[in-house]
Amino acid sequence: MLSPETIEQLAAELAEADRSHGVIPRITARHPEATVEDSYAIQGVWRDRMIADGRRLVGRKIGLTSKAMQQATGITEPDYGVMFDDTVYASGSTIPFDAFSNVRIEVELAFVLRSPLEGGDCTLERALDAIDYVTPALEVLNSHIELAGRTIVDTIADNAAYGAMVLGDVRMKPDEIDLRWVPGVLSRNGEIEETGVAAGVLGHPARGVAWLADKFHQHGARLEAGEIILAGSFTRPMWVQRGDEVLCDYREMGTIACRFD
């Protein structure tokens, strides 16, 4: 495992990369002995730095929960990161392209918790009972670590590659729609690039919420009421360039649009 000094140093590098929109060399290339536990420790130090700087935590993102994303990244286990208030955009927003080191878009559903959710063999039913509503969401991926050769350790340390999210206008209770069959048709500049259905996320997208609750339980923590949980993508990531207009159609759950300038 990495020393506390190395963990602090790497968290500081990532904080500077976040500030400057830069990219640092792979952690695993410099520290091949680094473990998943080390990567979450780095993320935790970075998170605490951001909170100390005045950013407010509003939720958690889960990544790599679908076969599409696991195949796209070569990483076969889910991960998670944190989301801050200044990374949330409404549908129709113009998003500054230069705020990111690189830009890719994923199609997801976002769950907002009505009550705290304790882990420990958390079931899908318990997760659904704790959810207030679900809304469509796009995740903006943003890596501060070089992409080539990246491993799960690099990705987790880099806050699971989270950059921002765009939330839709439609809010539905979990029992108002069969969440497994929510579609996503993702277009860039009027051309369809990716399609999928939410069942691609662990068979049911809310299973990601249950998975995360169990992960938190292992560290003596829980998910809190009001938190936004991004459950994971059910399409491959789509690269975006400056000037691109993005549209995703979720059928009954409406559309999300944004532009990168």
pLDDT confidence tier of residue 18, bands split at 50, 70 and 90? very high
Q: What is the pLDDT of residue 47?
A: 96
* Contacts for 220 with CB less than 8 Å, ≥ 6 apart: none
Average pLDDT over residues 225-250: 96
pLDDT at 171 over 70: yes
Average pLDDT over residues 78-93: 95
Q: What is the pLDDT of residue 244?
A: 98
Average pLDDT over residues 61-86: 77
135, with CB counted inside 10 A (0-12, 13-18, 19+), is buried
Distance of CA 107 to the CA centre of its chain: 10
Q: What average pLDDT does the structure give for the chain? A: 93
Which tokens belong to 9?
A: 């140093």
Q: What is the pLDDT of residue 150?
A: 87
pTM over 0.95: no
Q: pLDDT by residue (tens digit) across 181-208?
A: 999 999 999 999 999 999 999 899 999 9
pLDDT at 68 over 90: no
Euclidean distance between CA atoms 3 and 51, whole angstroms: 23
Q: What sign for the dihedral angle of Cα 218, 226, 260, 96?
A: negative
Q: What is the pLDDT of residue 74?
A: 64
What is the domain class of 56-260 according to CATH? Answer: alpha beta
Note whether 7 and 45 are within 8 A (CB): yes
Question: Per mean pLDDT, which range of 12-21, 42-51, 76-85, 139-148 is the poorest?
Answer: 76-85
DSSP letters of 7-31?
HHHHHHHHHHHHHHT--B--HHHH-
Domain boundaries, the chain: 56-260
Helix (H) or strand (E) holding 193: strand 191-197
Among candidate residues 117, 128, 244, the one with its CA nearest the CA of residue 193 = 244
Average pLDDT over residues 128-149: 96
Q: Which residues on neighbouring strands pair with residue 186, listed in sequence order?
A: 194, 248
Virtual torsion, Cα 154, 89, 261, 99, nearest 10 deg? -40
pLDDT above 70 covers what percent of the chain?
A: 95
Average pLDDT over residues 251-258: 97
* Contacts for 108 with CB less than 8 Å, ≥ 6 apart: 136, 137, 138, 139, 165, 205, 230, 231, 232, 233, 234
